[in-house]
Amino acid sequence: MIISVASGKGGTGKTLVATSLALSLKGKGKVQLLDCDVEEPNAHIFLCPTTNQSQPVFLPIPKVDETKCTYCGKCAEVCAYNAIAVIKQKVLVFPELCHGCGACSYLCPESAITEEGREIGVVETGSLGNIEFIQGRLAIGEPMAPPIIREVKRHIDPTKEVIIDVSPGTSCPVVEAVKDSDFCLLVTEPTPFGLNDLSLAVEVTRKLGISCGVVINRVGVGNEKVESYCHEQGIPILLKIPLDRKIATLYSKGISLIEGMPRWRKAFLRLFQDIKEIVSASQVMKPIDWQEVAIDGETHVKRITAMYEEFGFEVRLEEIKPEELEQCTKCLQERGEKIYRVYTRRKKEVDE
Ligand code: SF4
Ligand code: SF4
């Protein structure tokens, strides 16, 4: 089972929950803890694993052979990230924007593009008893976290209990880390900021079709609105951790909750069992239907397709005539663009 531990907001205690969950399972079968918060990995501080391997991660960046290039512009046209541009008799590559998807080299009609690796970080592996520890570390100044997260997730062993510490927020690195999880645990705090960012994180899990539950940390600091929101939305509150000076002190010293206050182990084992039951129930009910996500002209549809495929979705297009639509499509017709209805479904669901 893969459980990702995320939070819309930073500083809610996500790593405390992820490491406590992993440590509570220590001695109870095989466990993996993946630190996918690659911009600032800190689970190792609480776990203190023995690190035994460090592997660099490279991103394939296009390199253009201008003796073969005809400046047709095809590469710039297919790049969904504006990472390559053709200006008159020059092809410009912007490595910091490149996602290394390979579309430009694959589609270049002159085979003028080769790829060269650019090191963007490392993946480190180690262990602590029966807990296998894997963390990604993005090099300073590098903006592209998802490729490192993908490398970390390549180590997932489906026969083990896998816990993923996700970076805070709701952007691409979060989607990359959370997708393909069986369950997403959202850690929040009972404050207006906590509620706002929790609702954004819930939206992400719903778009990905992943069941979620909430851990409320620092109970006593704010108000009841987070609880009311969860009840309204039908999201289970699986654990509450009180505002406790001793917990804060342990955290500030880099001591895990399970080590510093062993009585919490039982609560985290209960949390794990509850998640297991929810996952079993939701697997029985998981929908596999296509969902309509957009109606757009072919230029935009190419980008939408690339984005969804990168996030692990299957995409189906259905061409529609302008007269079948109520919305204005004048500009698309003027550009001679075909119009499509875009449907997606998760690849994992298809495999299932
Ligand atoms: S697709 Fe190939 S040939 Fe065309 S501009 Fe790009 S690099 Fe040059
Ligand atoms: S590899 Fe992908 S992201 Fe990078 S320049 Fe080529 S098409 Fe764009």
Compute the distance from residue 298 Cα to the ligand 2 centre, in Å.
19
CA distances from 229 to 75, 116, 195, 235 (A): 46, 49, 8, 8
At residue 289, the pLDDT reads 66
At residue 199, the pLDDT reads 94
* Ligand 2, atom 6: closest residue by C-alpha: 104
At residue 11, the pLDDT reads 84
- What is the C-alpha to C-alpha distance for residues 135 and 44, in angstroms, rounded to an integer? 8
Dihedral pair phi/psi, residue 48, rounded to 5°: 50, 55
Give the burial string for 174-197 (b: 16+ CB within 10 Å, else e). bbbbbbbbbbbbbbbbbbeebbeb
Compute the distance from residue 119 Cα to the ligand 2 centre, in Å.
16
User: How far is the first Cα of the chain from the last one, in angstroms, to the nearest whole number?
Assistant: 15
Tokens, residue 177: 């880390």
Least confident of 23-27, 159-163, 302-306: 302-306
At residue 329, the pLDDT reads 78
Q: CB atoms < 10 A from the CB of 24, how many?
A: 23
- What is the C-alpha to C-alpha distance for residues 291 and 278, in angstroms, rounded to an integer? 23
pLDDT digits (tens, 9 = 90+) for 176-220: 999 999 999 999 999 999 999 999 999 999 989 899 999 999 999
At residue 348, the pLDDT reads 57
At residue 126, the pLDDT reads 95
Nearest CA among 137, 139, 117, 120 for reference residue 53 = 137
- What is the C-alpha to C-alpha distance for residues 331 and 60, in angstroms, rounded to an integer? 36
Query: Does 147 have pLDDT greater than 50?
Result: yes
Fill in the amino acid letter for 202: V
Residues with CB under 6 A from ligand 2: 62, 78-79, 81, 83-84, 98-104
At residue 309, the pLDDT reads 78
At residue 344, the pLDDT reads 81
Q: CB atoms < 10 A from the CB of 154, how many?
A: 9
Compute the distance from residue 81 Cα to the ligand 2 centre, in Å.
7
Average of pLDDT values for 225-236?
92
pLDDT digits (tens, 9 = 90+) for 18-62: 999 999 998 788 999 999 999 999 999 999 999 889 999 999 999
Query: Does 287 have pLDDT greater than 80?
Result: no
* Ligand 1, atom 4: closest residue by C-alpha: 72
Fill in the amino acid letter for 352: E
Q: What is the four-CA torsion angle of 103, 108, 114, 117, rounded to 10 degrees?
A: -20
Query: Does 291 have pLDDT greater than 80?
Result: no
Q: Give me the sign of the Cα torsion angle 291, 296, 301, 304.
A: negative
Q: Which residues contact 176 (CB under 8 A, 6 or more apart)?
A: 36, 145, 146, 149, 150, 311
Atom of ligand 2 lying closest to residue 84 CA: 5
